[in-house]
Amino acid sequence: MPPQTKDEDPCTESILFPEWVKPEIFQDILKLQVKNYKETKSLRASAGVAKGENYATIMLRVELDVETEDKSQVTKAYMLKIAHDSDAYRKILEKSNIFDTERGMYLKIVPEMEKMYRDVGLEVKFGAQSYEIPTNENYVLLEDLKPQGFKNVDRLQGLDQVHTESALRKFAQWHAASAVRVDTKGPYEERYTK
């Protein structure tokens, strides 16, 4: 499935993003991912999903233009999920911080389950790579899968049969790994089950 061009992408509209989203918070990640990283030249954020596709959070595609020691230019992109800036949303997060829960799933539980498959000789991937950034804000930061050709399907049209079967196979793998994980490590922490 080829990636969409900018003209075809309903998510390319530039948007305002929070003041705390600055190049500095991505620096440690960029130093690990970009060989001979020198500095970040610019940061752009745009809507990460089409209007109406994500109601509970704000999803941003963050692109960082990086310069290397040899003056080469590299662009790295990430998907940044952040909270809505409202009193009602803050009250919800006081009761149950969905960002901490989701980030914990990506950083702890998903790697455990992928490792269980690797340990028996199978390579199974359950999601995008997740990253931590130095901030006290509510967020989930993931690799942008768009450069690999992934895109969201129009929710009103749904999946075709090939993609539906692929999703069901992934659900079955998830279910199996989750059951084995509980059997071998015990119940999940309450923050993952509540």
pLDDT class for 1, splitting at 50, 70, 90?
very low
> In this structure, which amino acid lies at residue 100?
D
Contacts of residue 80, Cβ cutoff 8 Å, sequence gap at least 6: 21, 45, 48, 59, 60, 61, 62, 139, 140, 141, 142
Residues of the chain above pLDDT 70, percent: 91
pLDDT at 16: 63
Residues of the chain above pLDDT 90, percent: 68
Mean pLDDT (whole number) for 142-170: 93
Mean pLDDT (whole number) for 146-155: 88
pLDDT in tens, 61-108: 999 999 999 999 999 999 999 998 889 888 888 888 899 999 999 999
The count of other CB atoms within 10 Å of the CB of residue 29 is 19
pLDDT at 111: 96
Cα 93 versus chain centre, distance = 19
Q: Rounded distance, CA 59 to CA 62, Å?
A: 10
pLDDT at 15: 60
pLDDT in tens, 123-145: 999 999 999 999 999 999 999 99
Q: What is the mean pLDDT of the chain?
A: 88
Residue 103, SS3 per DSSP = helix
pLDDT at 129: 95
H or E stretch including 43?
strand 37-47
Helix axes 110-119, 161-185, angle to 10 degrees: 90
